[in-house]
Amino acid sequence: MLRSLVGSEMCIRDRLWMGQNSLSGTVPAELSSLTVLEGLYLGQNSLSGTVPGQLLRLSSSLFSLDLSKNLLSGTIPAGLLAPEISLEDNQLSGTVPQQLCSATAECDLESNLGLACPDSDCQQHCQLNSTCAAPAMLLDAVDFSAESKEGGSDGGVNVLIVCLVVGAAVAVAALLGLAVQRMRSSSPRPEEQVPFPKAPGMPMYESVSSLEQL
């Protein structure tokens, strides 16, 4: 329905209101042909797929973009700009473009659990909830990319060396502890007392040490 509307000869002035219309399917890339559009409101429908990159063509004229409460997935196109952008309650993922955080007056990306926040300021500005994932930082420690192999892999090699040294130290300490335990278990016990048989008219000495004292 939405695609046929855009392709018709209907005169669309500055705003297109199609919210709460039970629309399904994908967001038509043909919307990018409406270069005089100032407001695009497609919230609270059942639109799926990704946010079309062709909408970047509307950035010069678009004032308000509302694609909230749909089933949109994928990443947010870099360069998608408007003073007011609402993409909350979708299934978007990836890192929020930094430009979207700094160049919009109002930005709502709440309830997109797959989105990663570039920084805390962006998280607050775009109303990202506390479940917003942190950007992936683990691979920064050991970078095996082609660029790193050309001359920037020293940091990764150093990390690997440290890990190997620590592992070897732990293994040596465990072996030393085992050796000490075995030495203690094999050491001779104190001399046991040796009883002597009793003789008539003689006192009984209980041990070798008692005889030595005589």
pLDDT in tens, 107-123: 999 999 888 888 888 88
pLDDT attached to residue 14: 81
Of 92-101, 102-111, 121-130, 144-153, the poorest mean pLDDT is in 144-153
Cα 51 from Cα 31, distance rounded (Å): 12
Two tokens at 128? 């990202």
CA neighbor of 74 nearest in space, from 41, 46, 114? 114
Cα 103 from Cα 67, distance rounded (Å): 18
pLDDT attached to residue 199: 53
Provide the mean pLDDT of the chain.
75
Contact 196, 204 (CB under 8 A): yes
Q: Does residue 165 surpass a pLDDT of 70?
A: yes
Contact 110, 130 (CB under 8 A): no
pLDDT in tens, 146-159: 444 444 455 556 76
Strand spans (E) along 50-89: 64-66, 71-74, 84-86
Q: Does residue 42 surpass a pLDDT of 70?
A: yes
Amino acid occupying residue 41: Y
pLDDT attached to residue 64: 94
Q: Which has more confidence, 187 or 194?
A: 187
For tokens 């930005």, what's the residue? 107
pLDDT in tens, 62-78: 999 999 999 999 999 98
Q: Is the pTM of this model over 0.95?
A: no
